[in-house]
Chains A and B, each alone.
Chain A
Amino acid sequence: MQQQHIIPDAGQITPAAPGDSIPVVPLKHPLRLAIAVVLILVALSAAWDVAVNKRYHWDVVASYLFAPQITTGAGLTILLTVVSMSVGIALGTVLAIMRLSANPIVSTISRGYIWFFRGTPLLVQLIFWYNIAALYPVIAFGLPFGGPSLVLGSANVLITPLGAALLGLSLNEAAYMAEIIRGGIGSVDKGQYDAARALGMNGSQLMRRVILPQAMRVVLPPTGNQVISMLKGTALVSVLAISDLLYSAQIIYANNYQTIPLLIVASLWYLLMTTILSFFQTKLERRYGRGFDAAPRRTRRSKTRTIR
């Protein structure tokens, strides 16, 4: 059913109207207060311990925080995340639409892809791509069943460690994104299809202009999760000897044995990057939430109201 979305002034909900002045005693929460105090004390003492414990070697952390190897490593981590995520989302969208296709072969292929790439460990997939030359020494474009082909070169040369990492991460991500996007598409009201078709839209216009933009609202929060887990998941590529953030830190502590401080350096960078990503996620969610709930706008308005 359709509801009227005209919400009365939030400021009107006052305990007593002016004129009838019965004093209102707010309910007290002594237990809540006590728990809060205890928790603050625990947090403070933990922070204090971390700060003064010499074995953390904060001086080492500080000296390596902006070391060139570390910042380049962080750059590579970002590159891996951005490229794999972009390819993953694009391929995932295609797979999601294939999965929903009326053609049983098409949807089965998509289902099989998702089954395979979600069902095997990412680490195994990465090592597999890294060693692809063992299966296919030469990479070539050609016709099937032994037809003529155009040889591109040796797999060992073409599939660099970075290439293997990007392949592994992207193809794996596509499987997860496909399921997320399929869920998003499924969440759009069926009436939207009728309305778009009645206006003369064909299948691709319907998807691009009407269904996908609305699916975004549902797709974004889990995608944000995926981006963050991808950012940290790139640490797995250190097994392929790619100098991402973690591998760079590992190289340094392999030499100076300052394991913990360098792991802290890496963690601080991961934290910084995930924080920035979460910020953009919130922005995007607001952008695609437009028209569904006027919440963002109202919150802003009601804030000024309480200040007044």
Chain B
Amino acid sequence: MNTAMVEARGVRKSFGSTEILKGIDLRVERGSVTCLIGPSGSGKTTFLRCINHLEKVDAGRLYVDEQLVGYAERNGRLYEMKERQTARSRLTAGMVFQRFNLFPHMTVLENIVEAPVHVLGRPRSEVTAEAQTLLDRVGLGNRGHSYPQELSGGQQQRIAIARALAMKPKLMLFDEPTSALDPELVGEVLDVMKSLAEAGMTMVVVTHELGFARQVSDQVVFMDQGVVVESGPPAEVLGSPHHERTQAFLSKVL
């Protein structure tokens, strides 16, 4: 079997009368790293949020791990999913946000343990041990009892990655994970993401870090104005882009 982890066919999304996604076609292979790049307003983040059903897809089909996102298909009709089913289906993917979104009223350890215990109903002691391992993995083994606000941005983002991993997702979504960080803190987060990629995690990363995209990704997707302009291996898209919009964007960013 070689089915894609994420498969989008003509995905459309509008907010009010503005169409943000104008038919996205995209395939993310299992175990691969895909970087979505493009100017702001191009729809990268919206598309990423659609994968996790944080936004509802208006038209087209979006499959994650062979499951249609947000709808059930029966007898040639699409039935909108109930909230509980949607919540279940979100467990396939873990998500990391630009502004970390750690729960400020919980300690680092409580942040990580929260969902495995209260959503999956797993025993707290078992999850806590795993959480400690995850913290060690992101290099913050000694910060379990700190509150998020006591940590630097880079540390918070690494905790957010650990929190998402604690749910044992098959796919990790990163929404500009380093854009809110001071420049000297970007490296530590990218290092964690690199090690995750090396461990074989399927990742979709919205990013402006072209160095990371070139080095780590298997596929780079350039989006502009709600469409995929160009996609392919990083050397191709970043090194010798065919499309002039890609060329224009890269010349501005590099």
Contact = CB atoms under 8 A, between A and B. Distances in A.
Nearest to B175: A194
Interface string B126-157: 00000000000000000000011110110010
A198 B90 contact: yes
Contact of A5 (B90, B149, B160, B164): B149
Interface of A: 1-2, 4-5, 189, 191-192, 194-203, 205, 209-210, 213-214, 217, 288, 290-294
Interface string B85-124: 0011011011101011111111100000011001110000
A291 B87 contact: no
Given A2-B156, A210-B103, A201 B118 contact: yes
B105 A292 contact: yes
Contacts of B180: 1-2
**Interface residue range, chain B:** 35 or more
Given A200-B87, A290-B105, A194 B97 contact: yes
Given A290-B105, A291-B105, A291-B106, A201 B87 contact: yes
Contacts of A191: 97, 99, 101
B148 A291 contact: yes
Contacts of B120: 200
Report which residue of A195, A196, A203, A209 has the largest number of chain B beta carbons within 10 angstroms of its beta carbon.
A195
Given A197-B87, A290-B105, 7 more contacts: A5-B149, A195-B102, A195-B103, A200-B90, A201-B118, A213-B105, A291-B106
Given A195-B102, A200-B87, A200-B167, A290 B147 contact: yes
Choose among B95, B100, B103, B181 the residue with the greatest number of A CB atoms under 10 Å from its CB: B103
Contacts of B103: 192, 195-196, 210, 214
Contacts of A293: 149
A209 B150 contact: no
Contacts of B104: 214, 291-292
A217 B105 CA distance: 10
Interface of B: 49, 52, 54, 83-84, 87-88, 90-91, 93-95, 97, 99-107, 114-115, 118-120, 147-150, 152-153, 156, 160, 163-164, 167, 180-182
A4 B185 CA distance: 11
Contacts of A210: 103
Contact of A2 (B83, B91, B153): B153
Contacts of B95: 194-195, 198
B152 A205 contact: no
B43 to A, nearest CB: 17
B156 to A, nearest CB: 7
B105 A199 contact: no
Contacts of A294: 147, 149-150
Nearest to B49: A194
- Give the interface centre of A194, A198, A214, A288 by most chain B CB atoms within 10 Å: A198
B181 to A, nearest CB: 7
Contact of B54 (A5, A198, A213): A198
> Closest 6 A-B residue pairs measured CB to CB?
A195-B101, A2-B153, A291-B147, A199-B115, A198-B95, A191-B101
B120 to A, nearest CB: 8
A1 B185 CA distance: 13
Interface centre among A197, A203, A292 (most CB of B within 10 A): A197
A202 B84 contact: yes
B83 A202 contact: yes
Nearest to B96: A198
A198 B156 contact: no
B152 A199 contact: no
